[in-house]
Amino acid sequence: MSKPKVYVKWCSDGETAGKGDVAIVVDVLRACTTVITAFSMGARRCKVTTEVGQARQIARRRKAILIGERNNKRIAGFDFGNSPGQLQREKIDGATIVFTSTNFPHALAAAAEAIHILLGALVNLSAVCQAVHTLAINSKTNIGLVLAGEPSERHAKEDYYFAGRAARLLAKTCALDRSARKAVAEVGKCSEQEMISCSVHARELEEDSFGQDVRHAFMVDAFNIVPRLANGWLTVA
């Protein structure tokens, strides 16, 4: 294979990363941004679950910090909600984290057939693109951008924005399929601020007093951190 091929998949449409490919799982608002921020504060590892009860059980066993949301709100009894702006370094540093949210665990599951699974958000855009390219070259395989949001003209604009910017970076050394080329074209049609204003989720967060999280999520390349899933846990090298 001369060049890795980059493609975009929407997990909410039942799409998945190709078997044996390398995948970036993307949930800009807010799960991936929150988890990446937690690792920047010194978190040791992170377990992602779909069920609240399961998260509580694992946290009790592992003496872990609980982070999660339902309907944008912190789950009762959890240490933190799915809010990068509310994380506290003194509690996160050195801790094991158990995380659950509405969409993100399902996006991770949609990448289950990939040989390498990385977390991507705008806050680690360049770092995750460099990492996924190296893995794809070494593995002689393709790159899937697996988006957690809903694929429509109004929803998950932030995830699609990531896909477009990532594909544009990767296009220097990779081939883009039709879905990736379309994402690049969409990114070129509007500014970052216009993309935010088009996002239903961003507006919902603003209305719920999480505007700080939206601004945090759009701090492009704030971190040189790339969480990877291995043996059921997210860690960083």
pLDDT digits (tens, 9 = 90+) for 176-219: 999 999 999 988 888 888 888 888 889 999 999 999 999 999 99
Q: Does residue 92 sit in the same domain as residue 168? A: no
> What per-residue string of b and e applies to 89-103 under the rule 16 or more CB within 10 Å gives b?
eeebeebbbbbbbbb
Residue written as token pair 């506290």: 88
What single DSSP character describes residue 237? -
CA–CA dist 155, 1 (Å, integer): 35
Q: Does residue 61 sit in the same domain as residue 28? A: no
pTM of the predicted protein model: 0.96
Burial of 53 (0-12, 13-18, 19+ CB in 10 A): exposed
Q: Which domain holds residue 199?
A: 5-32+105-229
pLDDT digits (tens, 9 = 90+) for 98-135: 999 999 999 999 999 999 999 999 999 999 999 999 99
Q: Evaluate if residue 72 carries a pLDDT over 50.
A: yes
Asked if the structure places residue 53 within a domain, the reply is yes
Residue after which a domain boundary falls, among 86, 101, 116 = 101
pLDDT digits (tens, 9 = 90+) for 38-54: 999 999 999 999 999 99
Asked if the structure places residue 236 within a domain, the reply is no
Asked if the structure places residue 115 within a domain, the reply is yes
What pLDDT is stored for residue 171 in this prediction?
97
